[in-house]
Amino acid sequence: MEYAELLLTTISTLLFAAACCGYALYVVMSHVKPIGWFATGAAWLGLGLNTVALVLHGMAEGRLPLTSGYDFAMLFAWGIVAAYLVVEIVTRQRTLGGIPLLLAVGLHLYGRHMFGTEPQVHLPPALKNPFWLTVHVIVAVVAYGVLAVSFATAIMYLMRRWSDKHSWEWLTRRIPEQRWLDVVTYRVVGFAFPFLTLVVITGAIWADTAWGRPWGWDPKETLSLVSWAFYALYLHARLLSGWRGLGTAICAIVGFLAVVFCYVGPNYLPGLHSYQVSQ
């Protein structure tokens, strides 16, 4: 089973990489429709194999694959690709796919090489609360995956702004309009924010159950609050102050970078939320 899981994970990583290249090429050659079809097909197939690999990994551990750094890296990648593909279906826009698929490839490589794929047999006490662990991780996968798409649309907004400013018509013709990207970024963040709020709430409930206190300013807890605050600022500025355009795009980008640091940073800091990084 371990060999099959590793094989499927490797193939899904390669498919995500192929999809990333396909989406990037589609930006340049959007008139060649088969490139877009190839990229979408590779993304869907990679997502399916990623799902099967996660199931096999969970079977090897005898529990849902939610407890290790490797588990969450694979789930995070799964959430990003799934969220992107939903947005692609809704918007019928393929030029956004390169960045989310690149993030998924990076997470696959990070999870495999930093944590390893060995099943985690002996769980620490904090991970032996399957209900709140499951709820917390699921809402985190949804929130982080969707926010990765807002990161992509915000990056594309900056690219379109740059191309408009410098009259790069070859790029302007292929990237959606600034206003469209601004609206999509806002709607995606608005969808993800309740889930991000639930990440903080369920994390506090889980911490109270596991450690006897809901909040202790652990690095992970502090960083999760910081990332939540960035998106709260984004929505506040957008809804109440009428903030649009460049400022909100930068806020969405910084917010997702805070989310990434919230995931990666505590692994190298002393605290209760640190995954064991393989040496």
| pLDDT surpassing 50 at residue 279 | no
Band of the pLDDT at 127, cuts 50, 70, 90? low
Per-residue pLDDT tens over the stretch 153-190 = 999 999 888 887 777 766 667 788 899 999 999 999 99
Long-range interactions of 35-44: CB distance < 8 A, separation 24+: 36/94, 39/94, 39/97, 39/101, 40/85, 40/88, 40/94, 40/97, 42/15, 42/16, 42/18, 43/15, 43/16, 43/19, 43/81, 43/84, 43/85, 43/97, 43/101, 44/85
pTM exceeding 0.85: yes
Mean pLDDT computed over 124-142: 78
Query: How open is the CA angle 31-36-39, to the nearest 5 degrees?
Result: 155
Q: What is the mean pLDDT of the segment spanning 72-90?
A: 94
| 3-7, 163-167, 231-235, range with the lowest pLDDT | 163-167
Domains of the chain: 1-123 (1.20.120), 130-279 (no CATH)
Q: What is the pLDDT of residues 15-37, one digit of tens each?
A: 999 999 999 999 887 677 889 89
Tens digits of per-residue pLDDT, 56-66?
888 877 677 77
User: Are 100 and 153 a contacting pair, CB within 8 Å?
Assistant: no
In this prediction, residue 205 has a pLDDT band, given cuts at 50, 70 and 90, of: confident
User: Which residue in this structure is represented by tokens 């605050």?
Assistant: 229
Which pLDDT value is given to residue 161? 87
* Residue found by looking up tokens 């998924």 in the block: 104
Query: Which residues lie closer than 8 Å to 183 by C-beta, 6 or more apart?
Result: none
- pLDDT of 266 strictly over 50: yes
Interacting residues of 152 by C-beta distance below 8 A, sequence separation 6+: 84, 96, 97, 98, 99, 100
Q: What is the pLDDT of residue 131?
A: 79
At 277, is the pLDDT very low, low, confident or very high (cuts 50, 70, 90)?
A: very low
Q: Which residue has the higher pLDDT, 125 or 89?
A: 89
Under DSSP, the state recorded for 53 is: H
Please name which of 138, 270, 135 lies closest in space to residue 206, comparing C-alpha atoms: 135
Please state, rounded to an integer, the average pLDDT across all residues of the chain.
Answer: 84
* Better pLDDT: 57 or 258: 258
Q: Residue 169: exposed, middle, or buried by beta-carbon count in 10 A (0-12, 13-18, 19+)?
A: exposed
DSSP symbol at 241: S
Q: Would you state the pLDDT for residue 153?
A: 95
- Quick one: pLDDT at residue 237? 84
Determine the average pLDDT of the residues in 115-120.
60
